[in-house]
């Protein structure tokens, strides 16, 4: 079967930027015009094959499929919060053609059997590509390392104890050395538990006024500094998750200047919101790390602008009302983000913090590079493509989410721009208002 994506502005940073047609046969790109010729004129193929779908992308942006490096699918073990089917459908709705499934499931993804289970479920029910992230330590307990070679062979793409820090510095060093042998990025949840324990929001005057225990910036930045030091020692690829503080951005920037092999991500809520969103004891604004000050938010934006922060990832963390409609101190950390990420990223472009091309780098090109995935809009490559309508305006309605989670602080926000078509391997897995 042939598919023609016609007349869109194709942006593949470092490769393409212009109004072009993309011709797809089955799961592969076979031609791009201005013509990167196929084995014949595409028009001749049209005449010979009546099974052709034409997608009019005029006025829209066509980009390599977006990849979310940080998603909690909750399956196995907490399917009442999210399943692989609903989570990947939410990803497709948000424009993502692939996602990294974090390991803090029940049971933890710390063994071949669980990794293979996730991949089998994704094959049978998933709408997008699922890349399992395996645990650093058995049971996320920070005591014994998992078998990284076995996990990679089973399909793991990286390792992380996300949700818990690896407090033992010696264990983290060994993890980096071991992971380096297999080319696995180490994704670090940077948190000093002794400083964050008992806290439920950012430390400061707002927390004091609300009678809540606070979490200081140093609970994150001290561990960022430690892991950068271990990265420099071992030469392993360290990727720092959900960066939220000014001090962390400075440390990562300095490390990159020294040539340390560290990359970093932040989430849309950290470059959009501040701790003010918690006022009124809004549990949909409770997360870990917590929303920080305006100075921290500005530093995150600066880190995105100058390349210190490589990736925008959602840290999609669905919860049910059982975990969120409770006292603030008791509420679970986390928000859903797959279905609002593109819109919030486009606001960075509108505010001239980053360019449209830089946004695509941080949501597609850089995640693919970090994860050693071959994703680009070129002849012969897999047709994993996202089409974005930058002009469409809408109001966020959490009740319409494909995710089972409704825990978003952005409900009711007026947004401009969103993904309107998501294609995985030449197959349209989500389509919204496009002819």
Q: Which two tokens stand for residue 204?
A: 């400061």
Rounded to an integer, the average pLDDT of 131-158 is 98
Q: What is the pLDDT of residue 284?
A: 98
Residue 36 has pLDDT above 70, yes or no: no
Q: What is the pLDDT of residue 412?
A: 98
380-431, pLDDT tens digit by residue?
Answer: 999 999 999 999 999 999 999 999 999 999 999 999 999 999 999 999 999 9
Nearest to 267 by CA among 65, 66, 414, 68: 68
Quote the CA–CA distance of 371 and 184 in Å, as a whole number: 8
Residue 255 has pLDDT above 90, yes or no: yes
Q: Which two tokens stand for residue 151?
A: 């996990």
Residue 39 has pLDDT above 60, yes or no: no
Residue 45 has pLDDT above 80, yes or no: no
Compute φ and ψ for 42, nearest 5 degrees.
Answer: -55, -35
Quote the CA–CA distance of 93 and 419 in Å, as a whole number: 7
Residue 124 has pLDDT above 60, yes or no: yes
Annotated binding-site residue? 372: no
Annotated binding-site residue? 316: no
Annotated binding-site residue? 70: yes
315 is catalytic: yes
Q: What is the pLDDT of residue 51?
A: 80
Higher pLDDT residue, 49 or 341?
Answer: 341
Q: What is the pLDDT of residue 161?
A: 98
Q: What is the pLDDT of residue 50?
A: 59
Rounded to an integer, the average pLDDT of 78-86 is 98
Q: Which of 12, 110, 315, 389 is catalytic?
A: 315
Cα 178 to the chain's mean position, in Å? 25
Annotated binding-site residue? 72: yes
User: Between the CA of residue 266 and those of 1, 65, 77, 312, what are the distances in Å?
Assistant: 39, 19, 27, 5
Rounded to an integer, the average pLDDT of 161-180 is 98
Q: What is the pLDDT of residue 432?
A: 85
Q: What is the pLDDT of residue 433?
A: 61
3-state secondary structure of 129: strand
Rounded to an integer, the average pLDDT of 110-139 is 98
Contact 308, 376 (CB under 8 A): no
Quote the CA–CA distance of 9 and 28 in Å, as a whole number: 19
Q: Name the percent of the chain lying above pLDDT 70.
A: 95
Q: Name the percent of the chain lying above pLDDT 90.
A: 94
Greatest Cα pair distance, the chain, in angstroms, is 72
Mean pLDDT, the chain, whole residue set: 95
Q: Which two tokens stand for residue 236?
A: 């392993």
Residue 435 has pLDDT above 60, yes or no: no
Least reliable range by pLDDT among 23-37, 159-173, 248-262, 393-407: 23-37
101-114, pLDDT tens digit by residue?
Answer: 999 999 999 999 99
Annotated binding-site residue? 239: no
Annotated binding-site residue? 246: no
Backbone region of residue 235 per phi and psi (left: phi > 0; alpha: psi in -120 to 50; beta: other values): left
pLDDT classification of 375: cutoffs 50, 70, 90: confident
Contact 367, 345 (CB under 8 A): no
Contact 118, 101 (CB under 8 A): yes
As a CATH number, domain 2-62+379-431 is 2.30.40.10
175-224, pLDDT tens digit by residue?
Answer: 999 999 999 999 999 999 999 999 999 999 999 999 999 999 999 999 99
Question: Helices 112-125 and 84-93 sit at what angle, rounded to 10 degrees?
Answer: 60
Residue 35 has pLDDT above 50, yes or no: no
Q: What is the pLDDT of residue 46?
A: 46
268-320, pLDDT tens digit by residue?
Answer: 999 999 999 999 999 999 999 999 999 999 999 999 999 999 999 999 999 99
Residue 87 has pLDDT above 70, yes or no: yes
- The domain locations on the chain are 2-62+379-431, 65-370
Annotated binding-site residue? 74: yes
Q: What is the pLDDT of residue 1?
A: 84
Q: 291: which DSSP letter?
A: P
Residue 44 has pLDDT above 60, yes or no: no
Q: What is the fold, at CATH topology level, of the domain defined by 65-370?
A: TIM Barrel (3.20.20)
Residues with Cβ within 8 Å of 426's Cβ and at least 6 positions away in sequence, in order, are 1, 3, 24, 25, 26, 27, 28, 382, 383
Rounded to an integer, the average pLDDT of 318-340 is 98
Least reliable range by pLDDT among 29-38, 94-103, 145-154: 29-38
């Amino acid at each position: 079967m042939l598919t023609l994506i016609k007349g869109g502005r194709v942006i593949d940073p470092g490769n393409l930027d212009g109004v072009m047609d993309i011709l797809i046969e089955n799961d592969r790109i076979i031609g791009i015009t201005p013509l990167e010729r196929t084995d014949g004129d595409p028009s001749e193929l049209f005449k010979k094959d009546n099974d052709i779908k034409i997608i009019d992308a005029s006025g829209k942006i066509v980009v390599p499929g977006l990849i979310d490096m940080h998603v909690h699918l909750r399956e196995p073990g907490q399917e009442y919060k999210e399943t692989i089917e609903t989570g990947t459908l939410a990803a497709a709705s948000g424009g993502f053609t692939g996602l990294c499934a974090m390991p803090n499931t029940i049971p933890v993804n710390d063994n071949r059997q669980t990794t293979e289970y996730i991949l089998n479920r994704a094959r049978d029910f998933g709408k997008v590509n699922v890349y399992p992230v395996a645990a650093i330590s058995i049971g996320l307990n920070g005591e014994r390392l998992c078998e990284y070679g076995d996990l990679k062979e089973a399909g793991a793409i990286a390792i992380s104890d996300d949700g818990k820090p690896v407090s033992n510095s010696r264990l983290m060093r060994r993890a980096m050395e071991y992971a380096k042998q297999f080319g696995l990025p180490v994704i670090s949840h940077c948190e000093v538990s002794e400083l964050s324990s008992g806290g439920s929001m950012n430390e400061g005057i707002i927390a004091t006024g609300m009678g809540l225990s606070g979490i200081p910036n140093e609970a994150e930045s001290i561990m960022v500094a430690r892991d950068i030091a271990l990265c420099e020692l071992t030469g392993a690829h360290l990727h720092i998750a959900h960066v939220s503080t000014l001090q962390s951005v400075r440390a990562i920037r300095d490390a990159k200047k020294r040539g340390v092999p560290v990359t970093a991500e932040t989430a849309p809520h950290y470059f959009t919101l501040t701790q003010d969103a918690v006022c009124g004891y809004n549990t949909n604004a409770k997360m870990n790390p917590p929303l920080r000050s305006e100075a921290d938010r500005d530093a995150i934006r600066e880190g995105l602008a100058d390349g210190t922060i490589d990736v925008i990832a959602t840290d999609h963390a669905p919860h049910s009302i059982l975990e969120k409609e409770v006292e603030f101190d008791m509420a679970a950390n986390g928000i859903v983000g797959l279905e609002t990420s593109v819109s919030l990223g486009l606001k960075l472009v509108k505010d001239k913090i980053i360019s449209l091309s830089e946004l695509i780098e941080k949501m597609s090109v850089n995640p693919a590079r970090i994860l050693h995935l071959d994703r680009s809009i070129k002849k012969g490559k897999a047709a994993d493509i996202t089409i974005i309508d930058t002009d469409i305006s809408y109001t966020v309605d959490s009740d319409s989410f494909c995710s089972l989670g409704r825990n978003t602080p952005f409900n009711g926000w007026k947004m401009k721009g969103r993904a309107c078509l998501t294609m995985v391997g030449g197959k349209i897995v989500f389509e919204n208002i496009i002819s």
